[in-house]
Amino acid sequence: MAAAAAAKALLRPSATTPDLSPRFPLSSSSSSYLPFRASLSRSSFLGLRLADSANSKISALCRRSARNTGLRIEAAARPTVLVAEKLGEAGLALLREFANVDCSYNLSPEELCAKISLCDALVVRSGTKVTREVFEASKGRLKVVGRAGVGIDNVDLHAATESGCLVVNAPTANTVAAAEHGIALLAAMARNVSQADASMKSGKWQRNKYVGVSLVGKTLAVMGFGKVGSEVARRAKGLGMHVIAHDPYAPADRARAIGVELVSFDQAIATADFISLHMPLTPTTAKIFNDETFAKVKKGVRIINVARGGVIDEDALVRALDNGIVAQAALDVFTVEPPPKDSKLVMHENVTVTPHLGASTVEAQEGVAVEIAEAVIGALKGELAATAVNAPMVPAEVLSELAPYVILAEKLGRLAVQLVAGGSGIKGVKVVYTSARDPDHLDTRILRAMITKGIIEPISSVFVNIVNADYTAKQRGLRISEERILRDSSPEAPLDSIQVHLSHVESKFASALSDAGDITVEGKVKDGIPHLTLVGSFSVDVSLEGNVILCRNVDQPGNIGRVGRILGEKNINISFMSVGRTAPRKQAIMAIGVDEEPDKETLQKIGETPAFEEFVFLKL
Ligand SMILES: NC(=O)C1=CN([C@@H]2O[C@H](COP(=O)(O)OP(=O)(O)OC[C@H]3O[C@@H](n4cnc5c(N)ncnc54)[C@H](O)[C@@H]3O)[C@@H](O)[C@H]2O)C=CC1
Ligand SMILES: O=C(O)C(=O)COP(=O)(O)O
C-alpha cells in the first residue's frame, strides 16, 4: 500500500500533498480496482478525475482524511484507453473494467494523431508507429503507452520520456511462442516445407527437387541469448543440434546451464550451419548482417530471423542468397512491414516467409493482453510498473520504505525553490542524504526525481514525474549533485534526513541562507510524516502539511501571540508551530504550519508586524 502511494506521488503531475491511500484502512485487494484518489492537485498523474459514484465507505474515508489534511477529493471520469491493434479478449475485459476502451485498428498516422489527445493510454503491438508526432499531438494527456509484446522499436522512447509518458511492455508472455516459431521456421526451411506445399498445390509432385538437410549434429548459432534465444537453444539441443551462442551481455553460467557455449560474433558466424537471430533492433544491431558479415559466414549457411527485419541488410541478404553464400533464409520479420509486394527477398525461391507471426499463438496473445492490461491499469492508477521501459524500476519493498521520504523530497524541493529571490536563476542543487545504513546501498533515483519535481513545477508549466525528471533537469541546465553521509542514528529507517542546498542564489528570506551562502532546507520523517527540521542554519520542526509561514524575529515574548491573533481573525488554522533560535533573546525563526492559505491582506498584516524582520509564505 505504501509502495503504491509512493509510486503515485512519483507519477502524478503536481503532488502538492501526500496521497492519502496509505492511511486508508483498505485491504489491497479491495482497493485495487477502485478508481479513487485523493489529492490537492487539480488532476492526478493521468488527469483522472475521481469517480463520485463509488463505494460510499471509501468516499467517507477519503473525505475524512481530506478534511484532516485540507485535501480536496475530486470526482474522476473513467480514463480512455485506445487499443490500436488486435488484443486478446481477456486483456480487453480487464481494461474495460477500469476504463473506456476504444478499439480502433488500422488507423493511419493522421488518424492516430487526431484521436490521441482524447486518450490517457494507448495499447499497440508492433504494427503501430508511436512517433514523436503522436506524443506531441497528445498535448500531455497520454500518460502510458502499453506495448503488448517485447520489441519497443516502434515507440519513440525519447519523445515518450520527454513528454513524461510511461512506456510499458509485456516482456515474457510471448517468449515461448517466438521460440517455437523460430524452431518451426528452422525445420520448415531445412525440409522445404512451404516450397513443397506450394508446388503440390500447383499440381506437381517434385520429390527430387525438395530434398532437405538434416538438423541433427549441425551447429546452430543463436545470436542474442536472451529470453527467446535461450528457449530456442533449449529446443534445438532437443533436436540433437550443437548449439553455440553470441551475446555480449549474457551471463556465461546461464549458457553453461543449458549446455551452450558463448562465443564471439565472428566465431559464431564462421562455424555455424544455421544462424538464428534473437537480438533486439538497436543502433548497434541495425544491419549487423551485411555484405561484410556474409563474407565471413560458412558457405551454405541457413539463416532464421524471428527478431527484427532491421538487423539484416536485406539487399545484402539477397546478394548472399543469389551467390549461394547463404543457402536458405527463413524470415518472420522485415525492415518494412508489410514488405513491398515485389520484394526480391520475399519472392526468393530459397526464402521461407511468415508475416510476423512469432507472437501469434492463441496462448501468447491472451498472455500478452493480460500482461499489458495489468501494466497499463497499474500505470493509470499511478503505480510504478514492473515492466516500465523508460523509468527506473524500484522494487516494491524499497518503494514502501521510501514512501514518506518521496513526499518529503518533493516538499523540500518546493520549499527551497520558493525561497529563491526572483531573477536569481537556479543552476546548482546539492542533495545530502544522511543515513545509518550503508549509503552506497541507498537508491536515491526516486528521491532525486521528486526533488527535481518540487523545484521545477512551481516555476514552470512543465509537469515532472519519475519518467522525465532527469531529462527535464538537464533541459533546464539544473545540475543536481548528491552526497550520502553515514550517520550514527537508527538503522531501522532508510534515511535520517534529506538536505536540499541551492547554491549561488539570492534568497527572498535571507535567514534561509546557510553559512556557506546556499539556500538550505532539511527535512526528516517523524512517525511517517515529513517534517521541516532546518532552514538556513536555524533548527525548526514543523510538519509539512498544508502551508508554511517562516518569520524571522528577535526572540522575545508576544510574537507567537501576535501572529496567532492575525491568523485567528481570518479563521486560519495553525497546524504546527516551532521556534528555532540562535540563543535566548537573539535571532529566531518561527515556522508556522497553516491549513488554509492566508489572503494577501493577512500576509501583509503579518509582514507589517514590527517584531518581524522578514517573513515568507510557502505553499506546499
Ligand atoms: N517475431 C516476433 O513475433 C517476436 C519477436 N521478438 C523479438 O525477439 C527479440 C528478442 O526478444 P527477447 O528474447 O524477449 O528479448 P531479450 O531482451 O530477453 O533478449 C535479447 C538479447 O539480445 C542480446 N543482445 C543485445 N545486443 C546484442 C548484440 N549486439 N549481439 C548479440 N546479442 C545482443 C541481449 O543481451 C539480450 O540477452 C526482440 O527483438 C523481440 O522484439 C520477440 C517476441 C516475438
Ligand atoms: O513482441 C514482439 O517483439 C513481437 O515482435 C511481437 O509482435 P506483435 O505483437 O505480434 O506485433
Report the atom number in ligand 2 closest to the C-alpha of 126. Answer: 11
Ligand 1 midpoint to CA 184 (Å): 18
- Atom 10 (ligand 2) nearest CA: 359
Say if CB 186 and CB 301 are below 8 A apart. Answer: no
Out of 337, 397, 483, 597, the active site residue is 337
Task: Quote the pTM value.
Answer: 0.76
Phi-psi region of 224 (alpha: psi -120 to 50; beta: other; left: phi over 0): left
Half-sphere exposure in the Cβ direction for 506 (13 Å, CA): 5
DSSP-derived 3-state class of residue 300: coil
Residue nearest ligand 1's atom 35 by CA = 249
CA 134 centroid distance within chain:
18
pLDDT for residue 21 is more than 70: no
Mean pLDDT: which of 67-76, 240-249, 562-571 is highest? Answer: 240-249
- From the CA of 226, how far away is ligand 1's center (Å)? 6
Nearest CA to ligand 1 atom 42: 150
Q: How far is the CA of 74 from the centre of ligand 1 (A)?
A: 44
Name the more confident of 372 and 395: 372
Q: Are strands 351-353 and 326-331 parallel, antiparallel or unpaired?
A: parallel
**Residue to mutate (ligand 1; options 85, 124, 150; most atoms within 8 A of CB):** 150
The answer to which of 55-64, 355-364, 501-510 has the lowest mean pLDDT is: 55-64
Provide the percentage of residues in the chain whose pLDDT is more than 90. Answer: 59
Q: CB burial class (10 A; 0-12, 13-18, 19+) of residue 267?
A: middle
Residues with CB under 6 A from ligand 2: 125-127, 148-151, 174, 356, 358-360
Cβ neighbours of residue 184 under 8 Å, at least 6 residues apart?
none
Give the closest residue to 547 by CA, choosing from 487, 462, 618.
618
Catalytic residue among 125, 308, 448, 484: 308
Q: Whose CA is nearest to atom 2 of ligand 1?
A: 358
How many angstroms separate the CA atoms of 20 and 129, rounded? 38
Residue 366 annotated among the catalytic residues of the structure: no
Best residue among 85, 175, 228 to mutate for probing ligand 1, ranked by most atoms within 8 Å of CB: 228
- Among 124, 281, 356, 366, the mutation site with the greatest number of ligand 2 atoms within 8 A of its Cβ is 356
Please tell me the residue having the least CA distance from ligand 1 atom 30. 247
- Annotated catalytic residue 337: yes
CA-proximal residue: ligand 2, atom 11 (nearest): 126
pLDDT at 609: 82
Going from the Cα of 455 to the center of ligand 2, the distance in angstroms, rounded, reads 40
**Distance from residue 375's CA to the centre of ligand 1 (Å):** 21
Q: Mean pLDDT over residues 367-379, rounded?
A: 95
Query: Which residue would you say has higher pLDDT here, 580 or 606?
Result: 606
What does the pLDDT read at residue 586? 67
Amino acid 606: pLDDT: 86
In the predicted structure, residue 447 carries a pLDDT above the cut 60? yes
Residue 257 pLDDT > 50: yes
35-85 confidence digits (pLDDT tens): 222 222 222 332 222 222 223 333 333 333 322 222 222 335 799 999 999
Q: Which residues pair with 130 in a beta bridge?
A: 155
Beta bridge partners of 312: 289
Distance 126 CA to ligand 2 centre (A): 5
Grid coordinates representing 229 are 534465444
Report the pLDDT value the prediction gives residue 490, as an integer from 0 to 100. 77
601 is catalytic: no
Average pLDDT over residues 122-150: 97
Ligand 2 centroid to residue 332 C-alpha, Å: 11
Three-class secondary structure of residue 314 per DSSP: helix
Q: What CA–CA distance (Å, rounded) separates 152 from 394?
A: 21
Q: Which of 291-300, 408-417, 445-454, 462-471 has the lowest mean pLDDT?
A: 462-471
- Ligand 1 atom nearest the C-alpha of 359 is 3
* Protein residues with CB under 6 Å of any ligand 1 atom: 150-151, 171, 174-175, 178, 223-229, 246-250, 278-281, 284-285, 306-308, 332-333, 356, 358-359
Angle formed by the axes of helices 175-190 and 362-380, nearest 10°: 150
pLDDT digits (tens, 9 = 90+) for 189-230: 999 999 999 999 999 999 999 999 999 999 999 999 999 999
Which residue's CA is minimally distant from atom 7 of ligand 2?
A: 126
Which amino acid residue places its CA nearest to atom 8 of ligand 1? 307
* Torsion sign over Cα 482, 485, 491, 495: negative
Tell me which amino acid residue 377 is: I
- Does 264 have pLDDT greater than 60? yes
Annotated catalytic residue, options 356, 414, 437, 501: 356
Q: What is the pLDDT of residue 3?
A: 53
Specify the pLDDT at position 74.
33
Q: What is the rounded CA–CA span in Å between residue 308 and residue 611? A: 72
Is the alpha carbon torsion for 98, 102, 106, 112 positive or negative? negative
Q: How far is the CA of 148 from the centre of ligand 2 (A)?
A: 7
Mutate to test the pocket of ligand 1, among 278, 285, 305 (most ligand atoms within 8 A of CB): 278
Indicate if the pLDDT at residue 25 is higher than 50.
Answer: no
- Tell me the pLDDT band of 120, cut-offs 50, 70 and 90: very high
Residue nearest to atom 7 of ligand 1 (CA): 307
Instruction: Quote the strand ranges of 93-237, DSSP E.
Output: 100-103, 121-124, 144-147, 166-169, 219-223
